[in-house]
Amino acid sequence: MYILALNGSPHREGNTAFMLGAALEEVASAGARTGLIHVSEELADVKYPFCLYCSSPCDGRCYKNSKLAKVLELMRKADGVLLGSPVYFGTVSAPLKCFWDKTRILRSEKQLLNVVGGALAVGASRFGGQETTLRALQDMMLCQGMIVVGDGHLEDDAGHQGACAQQPSRSDMSGLERSRILGRRVLIVAKATSGLRKRS
């Protein structure tokens, strides 16, 4: 199993990255391969970081030979994807939305169909838009045909929409525990659904 995490924060070592790291530690401890992508960095050498809808279906011409093209190759191999974002005005960060819009080619190829997805969000306050951000992340994954799960696990509880934390996330023990549970859930469902994914 290969579980890939996408850090939607512009901060490589910020609150969102820390939460994703906790989830990936759980996944790695169960024997799966993991990867962490900082989307702001992957968009850095793309001339237009946001989608211009320059071709339909998407042929990837806008990021050919860029770092982004290599990341999309990693996504084609993923059994599970963890999307993490800070809360920006009650929704996902601009870098993550721009990055996800660039995955149109994966949608036309059905490369993320039945890949398992989980979401986590970090806000500046306890009730700072984390759940609305989770729902936006889930909607993005559903448009790729992904299997979206929350932070529930048989050994824990039924969970909710995903993992939420208040910054600083290092001090939010509940948020960190929910991140770990989310990682376990994504992995166990990815194992159970491995035969449903398209692999070339």
| Domains recognised in the chain with CATH numbers | 2-196 (3.40.50.360)
- Residue 200 CB neighbours (<10 A): 5
Nearest alpha carbon to residue 82 among 140, 20, 27: 20
Q: From first to last of the 200 residues of the chain, give the pLDDT tens digit.
A: 999 999 999 999 999 999 999 999 999 999 999 999 999 999 988 888 888 888 788 888 888 888 888 999 999 999 999 999 999 999 999 999 999 999 999 999 999 999 999 999 999 999 999 999 999 999 999 999 999 999 999 899 999 999 999 999 999 999 999 999 999 999 999 999 999 997 76
What's residue 200's pLDDT?
62
Q: Tell me how far CA of residue 32 lies from CA of 3, 23, 77, 187, in angstroms.
A: 7, 12, 13, 8
What's residue 66's pLDDT?
85
Q: Tell me how far CA of residue 135 lies from CA of 55, 59, 109, 161, 177, in angstroms.
A: 28, 28, 24, 8, 20
Q: Cα(197)–Cα(146) distance, rounded to whole angstroms?
A: 10
Alpha-helical segments (H) within 146-193: 173-192
